[in-house]
Structure 1
């Protein structure tokens, strides 16, 4: 974190906190929706098309919830790295992640070059 100024660290911490609040709000908002849909399955008679549509909606909602949980985990990991003094260091090459990349993507764990290399290896 040597390459980040105190103001950068404060701004990034605030940005991570705002992201965390946003994700938590999304998770809270989705919880009652999932429960009410599951309850309605047992209490109403549906046509097969209705059941299929409801199942598709539930799968989509579950995927969104899983995505939010993953984002929350990334944010919390970034906060831990910040607290430990490891924030802003690429996990692959050990070099500093540029300030502008961190400001654009506060949860980044790789520099752009290592992230590109990783993505080029993926199927």
Structure 2
């Protein structure tokens, strides 16, 4: 499967937009983490408040990790697109369906290999 020039441009544009969104989300999360730092003046509060704050921090940390992984996946897709390896399944070496790539440009597996991986994880 050869991508047309228009498809390559569209995919590069889509990856760039996804990258900007991931970076913006990481910046926003970093700001939230900074804003969540304890203040110098401590108020009397219940342990439930501490637990809720800790849970919120754990959620923010998990979101940051997801965004970091997504950013890495996007950058890897950009590299594959630039060097001509884009659209090749990392498991079987077959081409990934054009529609799958257009819908999910960071896909690294064909539909069959992705389904097999997910079934194996269950």
TM-score class, shorter = over 0.9
- Residue pairs, 1:51-62, within 5 angstroms: 51-62=50-61
SS across alignment from 1:108: coil
Summarize the alignment of residues 95-110 of structure 1 with structure 2, pairs less than 5 Å apart. Answer: 95-110=94-109
Aligned length: 121
Could you tell me which residue of structure 1 aligns to residue 42 of structure 2? 44
Tell me, which stretches of 5 or more residues in structure 2 are unaligned? Answer: none
Unmatched tracts of structure 1, length 5 or more: none
Q: Distance in 2 between matches of 1:13 and 1:92?
A: 23
Deviation at residue 39 of structure 1 after TM alignment: 3.1
8 A contact 1:3–1:96 mirrored in 2: no
Q: Kindly report the root-mean-square deviation, in angstroms, between the aligned alpha carbons of the 2 structures.
A: 1.2
Mapped partners of 2:11, 2:80: distance in 1? 12
Q: Partner of 1:65 in structure 2?
A: 64
TM-score (norm: length of structure 2): 0.94
Q: Distance in 2 between matches of 1:8 and 1:43?
A: 56
Q: 1:51 offset after TM fit, Å? A: 0.3
Contact 1:26 1:68 in 2 (8 A): yes
How far does the alpha carbon of each residue in 1:30-66 deviate from its partner, in whole angstroms, 9 at most, with x for none?
11210121233x5423320100000000000110011
TM-score between the two structures when normalised by the length of structure 1: 0.93
Q: CA deviation at 1:3?
A: 2.1
Q: Which has the higher helix share?
A: 1
CA–CA distance in structure 2, aligned partners of residues 110 and 67 of structure 1:
19
